[in-house]
Amino acid sequence: MAESVTVTLLHKENYRFEVDFGEAFEGYLSDELPPLGKREGATPPHVLAAAVGNCLSASLLFVLQRNQLDVGGIMTKATCHIDRNENRRFRVKKIDVSIQLGKARSDIDGIEQVLASFEDVGTVSQSVKNGIPLDVSVTDCEGRRLK
C-alpha cells in the first residue's frame, strides 16, 4: 500500500520557517545557524538526524517487541557530519547513530537475531542510506558494543 506524507513550511522571516504537520501533530520552527539565521529552531540537518535516529529506534523497538524482548529502554544519539563537497557546497557526508540499551548483554537472551535484522525494517533510514553513509552501533548499558 502506497502512502504519502505532506508537511507544509511557511516562511516567517529571514531563514525561519514554521513547519506544519497538519491536524495530526503540533508543528515547530526551523531556522539556520548564524550568520544566515538566528538559531531559533531546528536546522535541516537536525531534523534529518532526528528522523534517521527515530526511524532506527522505532525499527529496533518493533523487532524487539515482535521477539518479546525487554532491553530496559533505548537511548539514541544521531549525528550528521557536514562538510564541503568538491564544489565547496555543504553536504551531509555521513550520519552516525548510536543506540544504547537499558540492560546488560547478559540480561538479554536472543538479542543477536534482533540486531541482525532491525535496520532493514526502517523506512527512512534505509532510504537515506542509499545516498548518505550510515554507521549504526548498538551498545548495552555497560557500554559493550553489541553491533
The CATH number of whichever domain residue 90 belongs to comes to: 3.30.300.20
pLDDT in tens, 91-108: 999 999 999 999 999 999
Question: Do 35 and 91 reside in the same domain of the chain?
Answer: no
pLDDT score of 72: 96
- The answer to whether position 62 is within a domain reads yes
Question: Do 87 and 21 reside in the same domain of the chain?
Answer: no
Burial 45-83 (b: 16+ CB within 10 A, else e): bebbbebbbebbbbbbeebbeeeebebeebebebebeee
pLDDT score of 42: 95
- The answer to whether position 146 is within a domain reads no
- The answer to whether position 147 is within a domain reads no
Question: Do 76 and 96 reside in the same domain of the chain?
Answer: yes
pTM over 0.85: yes
pLDDT score of 127: 96
Q: Any residues with CB less than 8 A from the CB of 77 and at least 6 apart, and which? A: 53, 97, 98
Question: Do 4 and 15 reside in the same domain of the chain?
Answer: yes
Question: Do 26 and 51 reside in the same domain of the chain?
Answer: no
Give the domain range for residue 65.
Answer: 44-139
Contact predicate 11/31, CB 8 Å? no
Rg from Cα positions in the chain? 18
Q: Which SS3 state, helix, strand or coil, does residue 30 take?
A: strand
Low-confidence ranges of the chain (pLDDT < 70): none
Question: How far apart are alpha carbons 29 and 46 in whole angstroms?
Answer: 12
pLDDT score of 25: 86
Q: How many domains does the chain have?
A: 2
pLDDT score of 65: 97
pLDDT score of 5: 85
